[in-house]
A and B are shown apart, each in its own frame.
Chain A
Amino acid sequence: MLRTENLHYSYPKGSALSFADINCAQGEHWLLLGASGSGKTTLLHLLAGLRKPGSGSIHIHNLDITQLTGAALDHFRGQHIGIIFQQSHFVQALSVRENLILAQRFAGLVKDEKKILARLHRLGIADKADKKPFQLSVGEQQRASICRALINGPDVILADEPTSALDDGNCTAVINLLKEQATQDGATLLIVTHDGRLKTNFDHQIKLNKLPI
């Protein structure tokens, strides 16, 4: 489902990274651990098609996304990859509901408000649907951004340090929520983190080492 081969990336400044191959089957939950500066976020951006690798291939849904360019890549990302960032980002001018509609529209799907409400309900923030993002608490914002990442039923969910700003209680809650939602959707979940607290929660783990060329 999510597979990389011989992935290399060169920063514009000159330093380069090589990544060990990843192979996650559909529905599996993976933890990708690595210290700061090990290239975790870079790898996540590569997997999400936000950056172009220097060489190697990334297969999602049996499609090599390194071969996709421009609008086709944006479109594929919108439909098949859900991304959760360390900080929650929203279109501030729109309500939570409208942000989710936007996610559907940008992915080229038809607007489905029923689906949005059902998903918000599952995440326990249905009553916040018509609030602006800044009116939500940090925890609610996190849930709303999970909702945004999952709204189109992606095949792959990528999360970048989703717990680094949270205390232990919230940390466990968010991870459980992510795993639960991914399981319900049958999606592959890959969490990139340096947060040691998560180690015990995942069967599949990759440790990211800086591999100098």
Chain B
Amino acid sequence: MNAIKLSWKNLVNRPLGMLLSIVLFALGVGLISLLLLLNQQLDQKFEKNLAGIDLVIGAKGSPLQLILCNMYHVDAPTGNIDIKDAKPFLRPGHPLIEVAIPLSLGDNYRNFRIVGTEPDFVDLYDAKIETGALFDSHFQVTIGANVAATLGLKIGDTFFSAHGFDHNEDFEHETEQPFEVVGILAPSGAVVDQLILTTPPTIWMVHEHESPEADSGDHQHDDEHVHDHDSRAHTHPAYDQPLLSYPDKQITSILIEFSARNFRTLNMQRNINENTSLQAATPVIEINRLFSLMGVGLETLKVLAWVIVIVSGLSIFISLFNSLKERKYELALMRVMGASRLKLFGFIILEGLLIAVIGYILGILLSHVSISLLSGYMQEAYKYSISGNVFLPEEAYLFLGCLVVGLVSAVIPAWQAFKTDISETLTMG
């Protein structure tokens, strides 16, 4: 019969008294751990997806939206820009720009966004080809690891895209030529895992097929109609020239890495925003703005969670204190049997600590299980995968914090047990 077993038996002997303490403790710990996990994983994802991009140029609108759409692929585009306007930034030899990558958005395949871009795009995220190759010509696609895993796509598979960012059968493009998977990327942990990459002209061509139909307002999808489209398709240019050869076509944005950040790059950003029809936004600034907005809520929740833990400490104190009233003869008896004052003190402290440890374990389980459940939803809604299998060093500190709460709430009852007068207690009986 060791001390822990004795304390454990004493706890389970009055389960109702301890239930509230343990449930409160688990809730508090669970909430704190949940916030830590979410915060850390989102932070990490956002950090990773910054990918060294210094500036995003796109259509005018909300700068945050521009960043969220073109870098994190969670929001709708602010609009499109003409290639002739984007030309100065896409043309090689710009003195301030090291890398400039065009993006063309607007389509999806089963909720995964199709991005018309250049093969260099994957280098932003240090993504490597796992099987196959990078897309080389139109209608070839290279897909992210998550796309491949979720949709079960393999090299050589073909599919038709749909308009917009949410899967909807009615918006499926009716083109002659399907997309063909030529490569699959290795998992990178970045947003590129969730994307389908192809050339910008592919996006144009898909839409050119559809535009006459949209213009005519005729939504009948009979064979003749489709055939009609097909015959038109052949009249379109093959887009075999570099992007800049098509000044009247449109893209959604340009991702830019500067060769160096200095006042000239700042001036360039201001110049774009003030003197052109384009908008330039700095990812770090916008994301920090977003985090500082969310941060207030997170901090408030964290304080609330600690309040719950403290209240559960109070509840441990009260239930231990009450149980001592019932157990005073037992405590006197233990002394009669040869236990010292210090031992009794230790037993009560141990009970407080046990509640804290059980509460902690339940709380951690709670948070990790909810994260795992949540990750499916997150994946669907935000294209971000989070994992419940991650354990943080902060959770170890949280454990120490819990032990302190358990200890402090047990000290007064334990002191009470320590100074029990055996003779008086037994005489009262």
* Interface hits, A81-114 → B, CB 8 Å: 83, 85-87, 89-94, 98, 101-103, 105-108, 111
Q: Is A128 an interface residue (CB 8 A)?
A: no
For residue B332, give the distance in angstroms from its CB to the closest CB of chain A: 7
Q: Are A50 and B426 CB-contacts (below 8 A) given A83-B336, A111-B1?
A: yes
B-side contacts of A42, CB under 8 Å: 423
Minimum CB distance partner of B332 in chain A: A89
Q: Is B13 an interface residue (CB 8 A)?
A: yes
The tally of residues in B whose CB lies under 8 Å from a CB in A reads: 27
A-side contacts of B335, CB under 8 Å: 50, 74
Q: Is A29 an interface residue (CB 8 A)?
A: no
Minimum CB distance partner of A70 in chain B: B340
Max chain B C-beta neighbours (<10 A), residue from A51, A86, A93: A93
Partner among B329, B336, B338 whose Cβ is within 8 Å of the Cβ of A79? B338
* Interface hits, A154-196 → B, CB 8 Å: none
Max chain A C-beta neighbours (<10 A), residue from B1, B10, B337, B339: B337
Name 19 A/B residue pairs within 8 A (Cβ), A-sorted: A41-B427, A70-B340, A74-B338, A74-B340, A75-B338, A75-B340, A77-B336, A86-B429, A89-B330, A89-B332, A93-B10, A94-B1, A98-B9, A102-B1, A105-B1, A106-B337, A106-B338, A107-B337, A148-B337
Q: Is B6 an interface residue (CB 8 A)?
A: yes
Interchain CB contact under 8 A, A50 and B9 = no
Interchain CB contact under 8 A, A50 and B1 = no
* Interface hits, B329-347 → A, CB 8 Å: 329-330, 332-343
Interchain CB contact under 8 A, B334 and A102 = yes
Interchain CB contact under 8 A, B337 and A102 = yes
* A residues in contact (CB < 8 Å) with B: 41-42, 45, 48, 50-51, 70-71, 74-75, 77-79, 83, 85-87, 89-94, 98, 101-103, 105-108, 111, 148
A21 to B14, CA, bound (A): 46
Known A-B contacts: A45-B422, A78-B339, A102-B334. Give 4 more (CB < 8 A).
A50-B426, A74-B338, A87-B429, A91-B10
Partner among A85, A89, A107 whose Cβ is within 8 Å of the Cβ of B338? A107
A210 to B310, CA, bound (A): 54
B-side contacts of A50, CB under 8 Å: 335-336, 422-423, 426
Interchain CB contact under 8 A, B340 and A94 = no
A91 to B337, CA, bound (A): 11
* B residues in contact (CB < 8 Å) with A: 1, 6, 9-10, 12-14, 327, 329-330, 332-343, 422-423, 426-427, 429
Interchain CB contact under 8 A, B329 and A89 = yes
Interchain CB contact under 8 A, B334 and A91 = yes
A161 to B208, CA, bound (A): 105
Minimum CB distance partner of A74 in chain B: B340
Interchain CB contact under 8 A, B330 and A77 = no
Max chain B C-beta neighbours (<10 A), residue from A79, A90, A101, A106: A106
For residue A115, give the distance in angstroms from its CB to the closest CB of chain B: 15
For residue B3, give the distance in angstroms from its CB to the closest CB of chain A: 9
Interchain CB contact under 8 A, A106 and B422 = no
Interchain CB contact under 8 A, A92 and B336 = no
A4 to B341, CA, bound (A): 26
